[in-house]
């Protein structure tokens, strides 16, 4: 929570300082994790029989934060700070007949700092850029598993591709986020190796508003004199 407050304060200070040059405004996003159900291969490194573990997919992704945007001729650059939350589900069972299956939810909270650059075409924009993810909190049922270890990194990264549309102060975009880390990189079960070459990639839709900024003000047409007025 302290990290979130510090980043939010920094963004607000930057927005206040750059209001005359950049457009600034709030933004909310709603998305979904694209990865579906997948078995996780557990390679034991002991005599203990491993659990049967599967990834069941993710819930909706919710984000809220701020955008700082500037159009520079035919190109644009955009900085954002968003608080994001999503939940992933896992199933764990044993080798009994029938097996006892338990569903475990893993909810993560983090701050995203995306940087996007690209081109403008009329009211549309197309851009790409990196995202820095800062872990804030985690509420996980995986902790009930024997020898569970939280291995989520404080800092992580992903990459995004964005298709946006702006009309007046309203700013909308659809983006695809590709995570660099695997789903099973966030935890471990003792010395057993977890194998799943899949990431929690997601697709999201965002709506926001942009205020201020010289490139977001309506153009002022030059005044012209009536043709019937004679200048002396």
**How many other β-carbons are positioned within 10 Å of the β-carbon of residue 78?**
24
What is the chain's pLDDT, residue by residue, as a tens digit (232 residues)? 455 445 545 544 554 444 457 899 999 999 999 999 999 999 988 778 888 999 999 989 999 999 999 988 899 999 999 999 999 999 999 887 778 899 999 999 999 999 999 999 999 999 999 999 999 999 999 999 989 999 999 999 999 999 999 998 999 999 999 999 999 999 999 889 999 999 999 999 999 999 987 655 444 344 444 555 444 3
| Entry pTM | 0.79
What pLDDT, on a 0 to 100 scale, did the predictor assign at position 220?
38
| 134 touches 158 (CB < 8 A) | no
What pLDDT, on a 0 to 100 scale, did the predictor assign at position 6?
54
d(Cα 131, Cα 198) in Å, to the nearest integer? 18
């Amino acid at each position: 929570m302290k990290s979130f407050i510090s980043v939010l304060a920094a963004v607000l200070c930057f927005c206040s300082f750059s209001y005359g040059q950049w457009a600034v405004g709030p933004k909310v996003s709603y998305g979904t994790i694209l990865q579906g159900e997948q078995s996780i291969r557990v390679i034991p490194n002991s005599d203990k029989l491993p659990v049967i573990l599967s990834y069941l997919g993710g819930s909706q992704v919710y984000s809220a934060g701020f955008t700082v945007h500037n159009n520079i001729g035919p190109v644009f650059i955009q900085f954002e700070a968003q608080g994001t939350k999503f939940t992933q589900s896992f199933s764990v069972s044993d080798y009994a007949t029938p097996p006892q299956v338990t569903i475990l939810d893993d909810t993560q909270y983090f701050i995203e700092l995306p940087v996007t650059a690209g081109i403008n075409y009329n009211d549309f924009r197309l851009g790409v850029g990196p995202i820095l993810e800062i872990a804030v909190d985690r509420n996980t049922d995986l902790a009930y598993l024997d020898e569970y270890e939280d291995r989520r990194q404080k800092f992580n990264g992903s990459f995004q591709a964005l298709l946006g549309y702006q009309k007046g102060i309203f700013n909308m975009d659809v983006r695809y986020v590709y995570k660099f880390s695997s789903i099973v990189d966030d935890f471990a079960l003792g010395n057993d190796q977890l194998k799943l070459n899949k990431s929690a990639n997601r697709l999201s839709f965002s709506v926001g508003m942009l205020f201020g900024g010289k490139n977001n003000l309506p153009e002022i047409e030059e005044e012209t004199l009536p043709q019937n007025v004679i200048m002396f």
